[in-house]
Amino acid sequence: MEQKVRFAIIGAGRIGQVHAENLTRRIQGAEVVAIADLVPEAAEQTARRFGIAEASGNPAEVIRRDDVDAIAICSSTETHADFITQAARAGKHAFCEKPIALRLPAVDAALAAVAESGTKLQIGFNRRFDPNFRGIRDAVRNGEVGAPYLVQITSRDPEPPPLSYIRDSGGLFLDMMIHDFDMVRFLLDDEVEEVSATGAVRVDPAIGEAGDIDTAIVTLRYACGALAVITNSRQAVYGGDQRVEVLGSLGSVLCENNTPDRVIRQTEAGVIHAKPLYFFLERYLAAYADELRSFIRAILNDTEVEVTGSDGRAPVVLALAAEKSYREKRSVAVGEFSP
């Protein structure tokens, strides 16, 4: 008999629905027992859509259910750390969306609860499961680029999120670039020691008025001495643009954007290729399922998860260092933040 991990999903928003669809339809070893949202109607609607038996307005109750093995935390960022802690205390494994929290004490409290309980925690850095980025990481690990010199990450969203979202997001470094800070660590299996950030408001003045930036460049120095640069823009009208390159002594490995097809039009207007897949939901469709498959395998085989709690903490530190660097117009040592 096939063994299944029984899930409860907390949060029925956009990303909660992505995981609900994957867990109910695309992934063999999973079962979704319940979904909870502080807005009970949202939970009910998603439950109906994906045939989930139980919908609840009370996450805490759902987390403690006996018939639940693992919690998928898809609620808003400020609730992540608390739900991780509740899950750990209830003896449940947790898969949690990034970031764990916007401030380190909250992150550390959650990680301590997990350490104490011995449950598993995986952070939702879905891009680690994208075949392009994984291919580049594997090439680096296989020694194909030799000694690393430079990492270059280009990350552009097709359009900025609503201002209401921006206001509570923690800012570009913690909300958007957090993925790239994780990618920096993923690609090289090394830690960053120094961060230097520049930012600007170019896309929409209202983003600046909301206290955030929409365009940024961050340079980083790894412990091994290699350098990295991340560029972010909240708007690329041709579609989400996510490219990564690692240059080293033996050459470089990079990736182009995924496209919906490989059709090319040759007309008087030019030789026209397809635009990149529009946004993360399209681009990372398979990666979202694969990260949960990986989490389920770690539970069923009782092995280490592929994206640990400390993998969730490190990019928060880098984002905080970037913020500080941006404000103080100087290079910031990661050591300025307690380990």
Query: Smallest distance, Å, CB 239 to a second copy?
Result: 8
Q: Site for a second copy (CB under 8 A): which residue of 3, 164, 267, 301?
A: 267
Contact of 115 with 277, CB cutoff 8 Å = no
Q: Is 126 in the site for a second copy (CB under 8 A)?
A: no
User: Which residues, in sequence order, are bridge partners of residue 217?
Assistant: 198, 231
Nearer to a second copy, 48 or 115 (CB): 48
- In this chain, which stretch among 83-91, 127-135, 279-287, 309-317 interacts with a second copy, using CB under 8 A? 127-135
User: Which residue number, 26 or 89, has a Cβ lying nearer to a second copy?
Assistant: 26
Query: Segment near a second copy (CB under 8 A), from 6-14, 36-44, 185-193, 267-275?
Result: 267-275
* Residue 285 in contact with a second copy, rule: CB under 8 A: no
Question: How many chain residues touch a second copy (CB under 8 A)?
Answer: 71
Q: Which is nearer to a second copy, 56 or 257 (CB)?
A: 257
Q: How far is the CB of 11 from a second copy (least distance, A)?
A: 24
Report CA dihedral (157, 160, 165, 169) to the nearest 10 degrees.
Answer: 50
Give the nearest distance from C-beta 28 to a second copy in angstroms.
8
Exposure string for 12-31, b = 16+ CB within 10 A, e = fewer: beebbbbbbbbbbeebeebb
Q: Which stretch binds a second copy (CB under 8 A): 87-95, 114-122, 243-251, 293-301?
A: 243-251
Q: Which residue, 161 or 260, is less far from a second copy as judged by CB? A: 260
**Nearest distance, CB of residue 67 and a second copy, angstroms:** 22
Q: Does 79 bind a second copy (CB under 8 A)?
A: no
Which helix (H) or strand (E) segment holds residue 30: the answer is: strand 30-36
Peptide bond into 260 cis (omega under 30): no
Smaller CB distance to a second copy: residue 25 or 167?
A: 25
| The binder of a second copy chosen from 174, 247, 298, 334 (CB under 8 A) | 247
Q: Residue 334's closest CA among 231, 197, 177?
A: 197
Interface residue with a second copy among 118, 264, 338, 339 (CB under 8 A) is: 264
Sequence letter at residue 133: F
Query: By rule CB under 8 A, what string of x and - marks binding of each residue 18-37 to a second copy?
Result: -------x--x---------
226 belongs to the binding site for a second copy (CB under 8 A): yes
Q: How far apart are alpha carbons 77 and 88 in whole angstroms?
A: 18
- Provide DSSP, 149-175: EEEEEEEE-SSPPPHHHHHTTT-HHHH
Cβ-count burial 53-86 (b if 16+ within 10 Å, e if not): ebbbeebeebbbbeebbbbbbbbebebbbbbbbb
Crossing angle for the helix pair 131-141 and 178-188, to the nearest 10 degrees:
30
Among 258, 254, 256, 232, residue whose Cα is nearest residue 245: 254
Among 17, 126, 154, 294, binds a second copy (CB under 8 A): 154
Pick from 275, 293, 297, 324: which binds a second copy (CB under 8 A)?
A: 275
Task: Determine if 310 is a binding residue for a second copy (CB under 8 A).
Answer: no
- Least spacing, CB of residue 117 vs a second copy, in Å: 34
CA quadruple 11, 175, 254, 305: dihedral positive or negative? negative
